Structure 1
Amino acid sequence: MRIHHIFKTIGSLLLTVSLVGVQIAPAWAGMVGTDQVLAAEQGRLDRDKLASMLEREDLQRQLSSMGIDVRQARDRVAALTDGEVARINQRVAELPAGGDALGIVLFIFIVFIITDALGVTDIFPFVHPIQ
């Protein structure tokens, strides 16, 4: 009976300490401005546009011929910031109509090399990260 009383006391103490030690994180709410919503939506649209370009067969062939896995390219596009995606889409928009797919591939290739050099990714074995 004495052991039961000791376990009951220890259990009560542990329960009390665990409840006292729990910190409740406050919830913060704030107004979301229209410009923030529009910027987020524009980022999503730009990302979708770039992702749809990666679905083109001619672009996939050129990426493959350069040794870039299309799935990795899709993952990399998904990991880009909204600003980077906007710059890529702006560059694509400046290309001549009819699509200079080689220009797109080279631009994406350069972006991949830069991210490899920064150490964010490790796709190309010939690119060593900057220390």
Structure 2
Amino acid sequence: MNQQAASRQDLARPSLAKRAIASTLIVSCSLMALPMQASAQVVPTDALVQQEAPAGTAADSRVRVNAFFAREDVRQAMVKEGVNPADAQSRVDAMSDDEIRALDGRIAQAPAGGDVLGVIFAVFVILLVTDILGFTKVFPFTRSIR
């Protein structure tokens, strides 16, 4: 009977590893309740504007913008919209260095092929859904739910 009581006590008592893990969790959860300190400062606008400016000089940006406006496809697009390319170039030449940097950044972020990829993906998804619903049979790898 003594052996059975001792084995029951061993089963009821958690192992050393389990007690260590439980103790660690108790301490870490208790520390999470403590208030955290944060510091804040007023940041001047000039510091933010200087950080956001793209790398490179204004002369480099001006060269890239002029090269963009010198492209034939850009000139054709301006004419198509009713803008005289010479007037647009004169306005670009009159821009300040900060304006040129901003325009260069916008040109660099513009998608190369327009939004063609998004349109192609949308058409693919629409055709895929209509194939699955059984309205069309475009893709051989789909099975209709009908």
Confirm or deny a common fold (TM above 0.5).
no
Structure showing greater Rg = 2
TM-score, normalization: structure 1?
0.42
TM-score, normalization: structure 2?
0.38
Greater relative CO, 1 or 2 (CA 8 Å, sep 6+): 1
